[in-house]
């Protein structure tokens, strides 16, 4: 859906969001500082009004030399990285937060060590990607600190499911060329737990220190937040990365206890043999998925992730 523009309006791409202000880049490469107002229109429903990656219409609000304007219209999004929010705990009152929009793939950034590989969080992202039909890339950083045999065993279930995986070390450069190849001519949303080296990876990819990096919190071996706002950055070989704030947890939007089982692809075969068509694969007798997990045909940690996610979801 589009709208006609007047002489003081132009199309642009939102490249950064910070405290209610937005950087919007027009086709010439010029960047405008913009805000929304009561009259800002969108056809994206009851979600975040403006997000990094959005295509918008901007109206100049003064002297063109100042490059300031208001966003008057937000185009329909073709894809987005979202998470569920508690309406009572955010000022906007939105139920779904759009973290990045119009992405070609989701790059789940994790680390092999410091902090250790968080498979539960990876599985949450994979469920979201399956549900949203967004291509996903698992990027494992800090491999220079890992036991490679142990790491290979941890990643084997994902390779068996044909998920794309790139193992890298931002500090040594190992695997970085392979990662660059996976990002060329794509808009990739980088998301992951705090402290996994996401911003350091991006610094290495773009060839300059554009993203602030911080030291790991040694007290709890958990990362400190080094990216406080989403930002889109161009890659030297083509394409863009959207760096998103590090997260502690990823609350799934649109996923319910009823449909969760469909987003674990290894369940789809065995579930046809369950005694009950509505089997939740948690406690029912005659559950073929539980049997497959017990027999090792489904990775036990993946099945345990399913149970943990199931317990965290609302009943409908």
Closest Cα partner for 302 from 157, 188, 163?
157
Give dist(CA 228, CA 226) in Å, integer: 6
172 is in an annotated binding site: no
286 is in an annotated binding site: no
143 is in an annotated binding site: yes
193 is in an annotated binding site: yes
144 is in an annotated binding site: yes
69 is in an annotated binding site: no
Give dist(CA 84, CA 253) in Å, integer: 5
80 is in an annotated binding site: no
Residues ≥6 apart with Cβ < 8 Å to 20 = 35, 36
For residue 145, give Cα distances in angstroms to 97, 142, 168, 174: 34, 6, 11, 12
Q: Which two tokens stand for residue 56?
A: 């918008």
141 is in an annotated binding site: yes
Give dist(CA 53, CA 226) in Å, integer: 20
43 is in an annotated binding site: no
Q: Which two tokens stand for residue 228?
A: 């406080």
For residue 11, give Cα distances in angstroms to 28, 84, 101: 11, 29, 16
Closest Cα partner for 242 from 143, 146, 107?
107
Give dist(CA 199, CA 241) in Å, integer: 11
34 is in an annotated binding site: no
Bond prior to 184 in cis (omega within 30° of 0): no
Residues ≥6 apart with Cβ < 8 Å to 86 = none
101 is in an annotated binding site: no
274 is in an annotated binding site: yes
142 is in an annotated binding site: yes
Annotated binding-site members: 141-144, 192-200, 274, 279, 281, 287
* Residues in the annotated binding site for Zn(2+): 274, 279, 281, 287
In the annotated binding site for GTP, the residues are 141-144, 192-200
């Amino acid at each position: 859906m589009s709208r006609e523009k007047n002489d003081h309006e132009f199309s642009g791409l939102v490249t950064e969001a910070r405290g209610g202000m937005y950087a919007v880049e027009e086709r010439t490469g010029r960047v405008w500082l913009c805000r929304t107002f009561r009259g800002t229109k969108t056809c994206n429903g009851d979600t975040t009004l403006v997000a990094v990656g959005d295509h918008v219409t901007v109206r100049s609000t003064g002297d063109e030399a100042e490059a300031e304007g208001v966003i008057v219209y937000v185009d329909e999004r073709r894809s987005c990285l979202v998470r569920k929010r508690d309406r009572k705990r955010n000022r906007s009152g939105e139920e779904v937060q759009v973290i990045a929009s119009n992405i070609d793939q989701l790059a789940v950034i994790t680390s092999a060590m410091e902090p250790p590989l968080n498979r539960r969080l990876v599985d949450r992202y994979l469920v979201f990607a399956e549900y949203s039909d967004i291509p996903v890339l698992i990027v494992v950083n800090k491999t220079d600190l890992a036991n490679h045999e142990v790491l290979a065993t941890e990643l084997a279930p994902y390779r068996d499911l044909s998920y794309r995986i790139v193992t890298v070390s931002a500090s040594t450069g190992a695997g970085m060329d392979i990662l660059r190849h996976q990002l060329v001519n794509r808009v990739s949303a980088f998301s992951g737990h705090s402290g996994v080296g996401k911003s350091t990876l991006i610094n290495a990819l773009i060839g300059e220190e554009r993203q602030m990096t911080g030291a790991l919190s040694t007290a709890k071996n958990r990362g400190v937040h080094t990216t406080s706002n989403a930002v889109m950055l161009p890659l030297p070989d083509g394409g863009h990365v959207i760096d998103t704030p590090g997260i502690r947890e990823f609350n799934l939007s649109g996923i319910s206890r009823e449909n969760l089982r469909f987003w674990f692809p290894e369940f789809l075969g065995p579930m046809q043999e369950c005694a009950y068509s509505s089997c939740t694969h948690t406690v029912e007798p005659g559950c073929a998925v539980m049997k497959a997990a017990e027999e090792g045909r489904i990775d036990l940690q993946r099945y345990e992730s399913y149970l943990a996610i199931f317990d965290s979801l609302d009943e409908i």
